[in-house]
Structure 1
Amino acid sequence: MDKDNSAVFDENSESRLYVGNLDMRITEAALIKMFSPFGKILFEDFLWHTRGPKCGEPRGYAFIHFSTKEEAKVAKEKMHGKLVCGRPLVVRFSRDKYLMEMGSKTGNLSGSGSNKSNLFGNGSGQMNRSAKIAAIKSKLKAMEEEDHDTKKQKRS
């Protein structure tokens, strides 16, 4: 759980969990204690506000990297929705958040099954390179259309 190893771990790793909706009373030690029964924790990243009026306070979420995908899966299944300090934990694979954001921004994940197979071409749940490029192009096109519509309204 050495923070110097953070560059070694891939954000989209299959054994990395996002843990959100943390109460401000939850400490790093408490988080590690809650998740350690499910397997070996290689690394945890407990996020803090670094500036502004909340500087030094927890941000309310963290990342936990287990040694195997199976350990992470069990931890996710057991801890997601569990009440801690009166709040239900949100636990998911960290790569899932990235994929959900891409889908909501581009609309690609809500379409037909053929769109989904293009996004998840390798079957592992991670987007392939061409799908990422397509998502970026789609977002740029939407932004250009929005900008064009705004300019039309200003002329009227």
Structure 2
Amino acid sequence: MCSDMEPNNIMGDKYESRLYIGNLDFRITEAALIKMFSPFGTIVSEDFLWHTRGPKRGEPRGYAFVQYRTVEEAKLAKEKVHGKLVYGRPLVVRLASEKDLVDGAGSSDKAIDAKKPGLTGSCPGQLTRSAKIAAIKNKLKDMEEQNHETKRPKKDEGS
């Protein structure tokens, strides 16, 4: 069960020692990820994310999280592994707390905002149904606005 009663998880040591690992090739396994990050400290947990629905169900999502025992271990791993080529792709390694501040996680800003409560470590990746619906509505609205903006000049040019 998810607990919102742990405010220290948001910016405490537990959260600060959690790494986001992105740009993972689909051939990387959980075991390979753990082996790659083990030399830098004690890994207390790892979350290797998979598609749970749709045509890609069961395939890796291309990112994961690794939780170290200390902030120092996490920072060392970030320093040593960020940018390292694995299967020809440079890994993106950030402290999970930095991920919220940096655009480029692959989804819209509004979808990331909806996920923030789930990034406390107590229930990663969980969204309420209403948060999922709100994120989808925001994405559709953005797409409609972009589509409307690109069509408008073409209509004016043809008149």
Q: TM-score, normalised by structure 2?
A: 0.57
Q: Aligned residue for 1:37?
A: 39
Distance 1:65 1:14, change over 3 A: same
Q: Aligned residue for 1:16?
A: 18
Question: How many residue pairs align between the two structures?
Answer: 103
Aligned with residue 75 of structure 1, among 74, 77, 81: 77
Distance 1:97 1:10, change over 3 A: same
Q: CA deviation at 1:11?
A: 5.8
Greater relative contact order (CA < 8 Å, ≥ 6 in sequence): 2
- CA–CA distance in 1 between the matches of 2:96 and 2:81? 15
- CA–CA distance in 1 between the matches of 2:43 and 2:9? 15
Q: Aligned residue for 1:63?
A: 65
Gaps of 5+ in 2: 104-108, 110-144, 149-159
- CA–CA distance in 2 between the matches of 1:15 and 1:89? 18
- CA–CA distance in 2 between the matches of 1:23 and 1:10? 30
Q: TM-score, normalised by structure 1?
A: 0.58
1:104-127 CA-to-partner distances (Å, cap 9, x unmatched) read x6xxxxxxxxxxxxxxxxxxxxxx
Q: CA deviation at 1:97?
A: 1.2
- CA–CA distance in 2 between the matches of 1:11 and 1:86? 34
Pairing 1:90-101 to 2, within 5 Å after superposition: 90-101=92-103
1:30-64 CA-to-partner distances (Å, cap 9, x unmatched) read 00000000000000000000000000000000000
Aligned Cα RMSD in Å? 3.0
Gaps of 5+ in 1: 106-146, 151-156
After TM superposition, the structure 1 stretch with the greater mean CA deviation from structure 2, 9-18 or 84-93, is 9-18
Identity of paired residues, percent? 68
- CA–CA distance in 2 between the matches of 1:100 and 1:44? 21
Pairing 1:106-145 to 2, within 5 Å after superposition: none
Distance 1:83 1:11, change over 3 A: farther
- CA–CA distance in 2 between the matches of 1:11 and 1:51? 28
- Determine if contact 1:11/1:94 at 8 Å carries over to the other structure: no
- CA–CA distance in 2 between the matches of 1:54 and 1:99? 28
For 1:62, the aligned partner's letter is A
